[in-house]
Structure 1
């Protein structure tokens, strides 16, 4: 059936696995929402004079890294009911990373946040140059992103800056708003239930990142034959940047392109509108 359709219609199609999408997202994210977002984006870019300045347009969000490895298919005797692998850890240890990319294809050094009260010395050694580290027992919000990472990491970049974040991150207080103003940063919040379609980091980069991370910890556990501790995290996250090229220019540009946030075609369309 697929072959006959292809031959008669001469269209290009392919098999693609369906991705999980919560019902609330599919129902709440409408064409009206999408159009409203790009209208707001256009007005903001024009107001800040950033139409031709992709280096000054950022998307930031948090992602998590588990110490749990993913099981693989292995050949066993037909009578074998269960087969187990050595896991990298308990699967319950979770490290958060705040990541920021810009529309020019660049990534800022990440901010790695451990769960805890005190930052131990060996938790921040051996990582990527410029990486920030911290600990928290509370909810991660925009205050942490802006004050602990974004301002210092963008100190050499021309102002103003546009920072696109989701609503989950953007719980701004008066102090945060003042901090943004002082540093010429405009914060634009994505519509609810839209990050799967409109947020560059979610659309492309974070999906690939999870796969890369699984490969890294699986190889590490096999080679080192030991479980993953917080002291190993800086080195392993560095591998994402250096070995896996998880934040390559190509991937970042693809993230912005597929979300429609900042591509040449979109800019030309916005200018003509």
Structure 2
């Protein structure tokens, strides 16, 4: 259940123990009024078994669905030929990612307080702080490219870069988020710092952010300077991106510690953007170590290259949905059926032999699979650890089960399984994929896509700015505002009175005809549905990442 991200709480465990004892006729002294076991029994049970209470990390449904064996193998099907062809040494394999640094610590450290205190506080600079984007990049051998700071302001002041890490560069944007032109400037900085050339090519692994995968200037620069750019599968960076796996967590912890130390040493003052570079630099120097870098690439299987680095139980969460996979590249794949019966259960479980071809969909799942029982890779069958039947407790004079057939936890509390109708279909959703960005087919596809968008709307007419108010009426009721189709510009006499809507994430204009747009209910900024990750027909209120 924990592997499926539906972990049991302490109360769930206590209720399950009571139900198991009742249904199997086992003598017990549990609380019949509350219908659960006591806390003493729970703590004793935890001591007898290799389990512990842990604080889980929130993981989105998109990440849970997308991290599956199909997407992982698609990435390694691209990585392995590149490694065989170019023979990249470890010092020429890089990973880049951006992170948001706030003037308010994300999680205050625990402090000592008197027993019985109802509330314990910790000083922070503000309720909601300013966020500065920092672009970080590291290699397998622990070579870190000096970071880039993107400050949320229009004009730059050099005081903002005081005590920043040596060699750092800076840019400004009113949103504080990475933009295409800013990423292009960082990429030139990367070329200078890494020493890449056609005679000394490097591999750069990055996620599918629009500033990375839809930036023709960066792709041209990469092809001219021997940089091979490989994009990760969509919504898989939390498990497959080295920076996310090993570097970002200690960096965030050290940065929070630096914030608390600064506030303690400067009473009466608050942290602003002018202190971010110094505090981040101190945390960056502590986190940027060779051991951290090597560990991130090893745990993700990038170097040394190992597609089997992820164990079968790590894909259990993707098997909950059991939805069909849209495989347009190759429909042929083999399946082998493996039947596993747990005590009290008679479920037939589908296994998988071989790996199907790769899909362009963001939410990729195996077709008609129920792999919580068992899974196969090739000809080898991997049994499901959850299918091991528990043994009735006969210690302390407790009687055994009163029935001949033992009722296991699978009968009382079966693992969750979603039906095929539990998710709404998204017709025109943009689909990401793992791809080599610097190869000619992808570049040609991107050029064709941009050309097609430029020709949308009114052929033969000059493009004019369209008023936002002519597309969507003022918002009422707190629901999302959405732009779904281009308005006619012929009768729009006031179209030049207002600027065209610009996406706060990728900075592309609405008139470019990219996708539908939605409006933030707090800052009233516009964003593409795909950029904001809010694709679909839901009427829930939209709040952008800047405001949230």
What is the TM-score when the length of structure 2 is the normalising length?
A: 0.43
1:154 partnered with 2:194 = yes
The residue that corresponds to 2:320 in the other structure is none
Equivalent pair of 1:88/1:217 in contact (CA under 8 Å): no
Cα distance in 2 for partners of 1:241, 1:176 equals: 26
Among 298, 302, 306, which residue is 1:257 paired with?
298
Cα distance in 2 for partners of 1:42, 1:128 equals: 34
Equivalent pair of 1:88/1:218 in contact (CA under 8 Å): no
What is the TM-score when the length of structure 1 is the normalising length?
A: 0.84
Among 175, 180, 190, which residue is 2:222 paired with?
180
Q: Deviations over 1:159-187 (max 9, x none)?
A: 21111000025233322221111111111
Q: Against the structure 1 CA distance between its residues 198 and 220, is the aligned structure 2 distance closer, same or farther, given a 3 Å change threshold?
A: same
Q: Deviations over 1:36-79 (max 9, x none)?
A: 211211011222221xx01111000001111113444452585x
1:227 partnered with 2:265 = no
Matches within 5 A, 1:90-169: 90-137=127-174, 139-141=177-179, 143-148=181-186, 149-155=189-195, 159-168=200-209, 169=211
Equivalent pair of 1:67/1:90 in contact (CA under 8 Å): no
Cα distance in 2 for partners of 1:165, 1:24 equals: 18
Q: Deviations over 1:92-144 (max 9, x none)?
A: 21111100001112211111110111111201222221111111235514653
The residue that corresponds to 1:43 in the other structure is 81
Cα distance in 2 for partners of 1:17, 1:84 equals: 21
Q: Against the structure 1 CA distance between its residues 143 and 259, is the aligned structure 2 distance closer, same or farther, given a 3 Å change threshold?
A: farther
Among 57, 80, 83, which residue is 2:93 paired with?
57
Equivalent pair of 1:55/1:104 in contact (CA under 8 Å): yes
The residue that corresponds to 1:217 in the other structure is 259
Cα distance in 1 for partners of 2:278, 2:203 equals: 31
The residue that corresponds to 2:410 in the other structure is none
Equivalent pair of 2:205/2:232 in contact (CA under 8 Å): yes
- Secondary structure class of the residue paired with 1:117: coil
1:67 partnered with 2:103 = yes
Shift of 1:16: 4.9
Matches within 5 A, 1:24-43: 24-43=62-81
Q: Against the structure 1 CA distance between its residues 212 and 81, is the aligned structure 2 distance closer, same or farther, given a 3 Å change threshold?
A: same
- Secondary structure class of the residue paired with 1:236: helix
Equivalent pair of 2:137/2:145 in contact (CA under 8 Å): yes
- Secondary structure class of the residue paired with 1:167: coil
Q: Against the structure 1 CA distance between its residues 152 and 200, is the aligned structure 2 distance closer, same or farther, given a 3 Å change threshold?
A: same
1:208 partnered with 2:246 = no
Cα distance in 2 for partners of 1:2, 1:126 equals: 48
Higher relative contact order (CA 8 A, sep 6+): 1
Q: Which has more radius of gyration?
A: 2
Equivalent pair of 2:150/2:178 in contact (CA under 8 Å): no
Cα distance in 1 for partners of 2:46, 2:124 equals: 42
The count of aligned residue pairs is 257
Which structure shows the bigger proportion of residues in helix conformation?
1
1:198 partnered with 2:240 = yes
Structure 2 gaps of 5+ residues are 1-44, 310-548
- Secondary structure class of the residue paired with 1:38: helix
Q: Against the structure 1 CA distance between its residues 144 and 162, is the aligned structure 2 distance closer, same or farther, given a 3 Å change threshold?
A: farther
Shift of 1:22: 1.3
Cα distance in 2 for partners of 1:77, 1:103 equals: 47
